[in-house]
Amino acid sequence: MTQPPRLGRFPLGLDQVQPAGRTGPLTAQTVLRPQRPLQHLAKDAARKVVPSGLGLDSQPVRLRMVQRLRAEGFHHDAVLSAFATVQRHLFVDTALATQAYEDTSLPIGLEQTISKPSVVARMLALAFEGEGARARGHLGCVLEIGTGCGYQTALLSHLSKSVVSIERLKGLYDKARENLMPWRGADIRLVHGDGRLGHAPRAPFDTIVSAAGGEDVPQLWLDQLAEGGRLIAPAAHPLRGGQSLCVVDRSGQGYSQTWLDAVNFVPLKSGRS
């Protein structure tokens, strides 16, 4: 089985408290050192083992998913390359691993789901159509609302300069932290917090992507969107009702809003738990 990619020079940033008895800044060694007893780590490793003979760790399996996406009209090379690289089956429970590369959403616990590959590809492709991303050739500094299991976060790490990802549910935050620890990313920071508030300490963001849909697009997200930036989020359509993808672009003249496909995302909620 192919080993997960080694950590790059940049540590995975985790907004968390210091380990007991330790002071000073969190270094890469501090962040990545397992804090759980060895017997629990063994159980975690066992849960991640995909049944043998399925070939899910092979690139051809992911390439078949990419070919389906291309056949459906997705042609952005950087997005397709990220899909070909990130092993989606490592982000879902072992019992669902055989479905990892189908175009279907899957449960990840706590009444949340990992979105269909085609839906994720649609949102990332839309992000690249923004003025700033076209000029840069990448998504710049990204704010992701709703980390979930961390799969989209891993994709974004291949497409951007940095990623701040916010998850309100502690159980999923912990799961994403575990899933993403071995993942090589230029700059990934996980935050356990209220996604509706955005993340002012790292603002402004060139790209904002939400994996949860609310009644509106929070004003704080708009405030934290950089000039030339683009925001993609599901929200309640003001005329036809139900969720639709909302795209907001910010320029020197203000904001412009476009409504696109009808979608069905988990609800965007305030607070954290």
Specify the pLDDT at position 5: 40
Domain ranges in the chain? 52-262
What is d(CA 234, CA 232) in angstroms, rounded to the nearest whole number? 7
Are 152 and 188 contacting, i.e. CB atoms less than 8 angstroms apart? no
pTM of the predicted model as reported, rounded to 2 decimal places: 0.81
Selected residue with higher pLDDT from 184 and 229: 229
Are 35 and 19 contacting, i.e. CB atoms less than 8 angstroms apart? yes
Residues whose CB is less than 8 angstroms from the CB of residue 147 and which lie 6 or more positions away in sequence, other chains included = 153, 165, 166, 167, 172, 173, 176, 190, 211
Catalytic pick among 58, 105, 115, 270: 115
Task: Indicate if the alpha-carbon torsion angle 42, 47, 52, 56 is positive or negative.
Answer: negative
pLDDT higher than 70, residue 272: yes
Q: Is residue 270 annotated as a catalytic residue, yes or no?
A: no
- What 95-102 contacts at long range (C-beta under 8 Å, 24+ apart), as own/partner pairs, is 97/50, 97/51, 97/54, 97/56, 98/51, 98/54, 98/56, 100/56, 101/56, 101/61, 101/62, 101/64, 101/65
Q: Which residue has the tokens 């492709």?
A: 125
Mean pLDDT taken over the chain: 83
pLDDT higher than 70, residue 23: no
Helices 117-128 and 59-71, axial angle in degrees (round to 10): 70
pLDDT higher than 80, residue 213: yes
Span 149-199, pLDDT tens digits: 999 999 999 999 999 999 999 999 999 999 998 775 558 999 999 999 999
pLDDT higher than 80, residue 68: yes
What is d(CA 268, CA 247) in angstroms, rounded to the nearest whole number? 17
pLDDT higher than 50, residue 35: no
Specify the pLDDT at position 9: 32
pLDDT higher than 60, residue 26: no
- Does 2.60.120.1600 match the CATH number of domain 52-262? no
